[in-house]
Structure 1
């Protein structure tokens, strides 16, 4: 009797809709997995609806989103592989540390508590939300120019604009504020159990041209796991920015993730 396909849960980050994972879902299904890409809590089903209803996700924090995906993991036939991008990567790390996942892949993950570098590029990329303290409990949208800097800097302006029109949605600003203040908070929602030695394997992926989560931040994230004996690896991709999961080179990243999962026996 053939074993059931391993479930895979894709988790998007800020300013992208869950349907941006569609090519990945299709590839993973063809590769023998049982993939899904659920949206964040209350996220409308389509990009157009999300743009029309920004208030639906306003005020969501890191734990709200983590608990949402944890319940989905608990309802799975077996612990899934979780693959997240940006804040989705941070959430994937939290789920792995909590024992909710068999393995995790964190692609350009938002900084967790303990990460100290704050490159100027990252600060600039976060300014559309962090620049106004009143945004904390609001949903914030990016302009095309802001998307170009934060996501599409490593692709052509034409492609960046096309990705913006296709996938960009308003997102809650609260996770950015929580991550920014994490090292000054005793019980930050951006904290991850990096010392867990019984967890499944973790792959961190960094785009070396990323402005939103610069490589220095991901390398610092890797160092936070130095006290764990569980598998923790970093793969870096030259010439790739924060749009690496949705731009013309997405399949390079996806195929690298599939190869890594096979190496882990998953």
Structure 2
């Protein structure tokens, strides 16, 4: 089957100070737009080439099969395709489900470094699913039966609970919630069984967490960092969508500094 035609937002260019491109991978229900709000311009303005694809079936990307059947392996293939289109191997930055995809990508790819932002942990989605079941049992049962989950994350109140901190302005939460779209049911199942293998990963990783994360717990962030032999860093005032929250600049600055320390 031929690869999907992917929407790719590509800004800036590499520079002597930052010769390695950055590849940003979005999470579930999102698309490349979540990086384009702030992060792509931030890094492009500092001399990086910053590239964000919409995974197939998301944003304006085509898909090789129905959305409900898209797997984590399909998403990894999308990241591979974009990475291989770049002149040099990129630093890969993944958020939430995108962090899970990045972990799977890194098992078989030798790249300079990676960043995991509020990432699903190597042990997968079981903890997240159980928390969802406890918080909203009827929602969880309905989405499990139908394979459709958008309705249970896309109202302003549910989006705030999962993605944003209590102090994020209502208008931002409402506008971002309206941009969410349906996610693959198959990818959710893969998050339980197609687990990353951290021992295969050689790239150094920066692992970041948020203090008001309604999707990933601090314990899961610590477990992710431990699996990759590093220490996590937390932003106590931010919610799960660290790249969209007011205060996103502190996250971008930390990534910028970490990359600079490594000559990227």
TM-score by length of 1: 0.79
Give the alignment of 1:133-144 within 5 angstroms: 133-136=144-147, 138=148, 140-141=150-151, 142-144=153-155
CA distance in 2 between counterparts of 1:21 and 1:265 reads: 23
CA distance in 1 between counterparts of 2:24 and 2:136 reads: 23
Alpha-carbon contact 2:238-2:245 (below 8 Å) kept: no
Alpha-carbon contact 1:244-1:253 (below 8 Å) kept: yes
Q: State yes or no: 1:28 paired with 2:46.
A: no
Aligned residue number for residue 249 of structure 2:
251
Alignment size in residue pairs: 243
How many Å apart are 1:245 and its aligned residue?
1.2
CA distance in 2 between counterparts of 1:202 and 1:126 reads: 33
Aligned residue number for residue 229 of structure 1:
none
- Judged with a 3 Å threshold, the aligned counterparts in structure 2 of structure 1 residues 245 and 122 are, in CA distance, closer, same or farther, namely farther
Unpaired runs of 5+ residues, structure 2, are 1-14
Specify the SS of the correspondent of 1:238: strand
Alpha-carbon contact 1:43-1:56 (below 8 Å) kept: no
For residues 43-77 of structure 1, the C-alpha deviation after alignment (integer angstroms, 9 at most, x for no partner) is 3429xxx9xx9x96332111110111112212221
- Judged with a 3 Å threshold, the aligned counterparts in structure 2 of structure 1 residues 164 and 76 are, in CA distance, closer, same or farther, namely same
Alpha-carbon contact 2:121-2:224 (below 8 Å) kept: yes
1:150 to 159, 162, 183: 162
Q: State yes or no: 1:240 paired with 2:238.
A: yes
CA distance in 1 between counterparts of 2:44 and 2:26 reads: 18
CA distance in 2 between counterparts of 1:82 and 1:211 reads: 24
Aligned residue number for residue 70 of structure 2:
60
2:218 to 215, 219, 241: 215
- Judged with a 3 Å threshold, the aligned counterparts in structure 2 of structure 1 residues 69 and 119 are, in CA distance, closer, same or farther, namely closer
Unpaired runs of 5+ residues, structure 1, are 183-187, 227-231
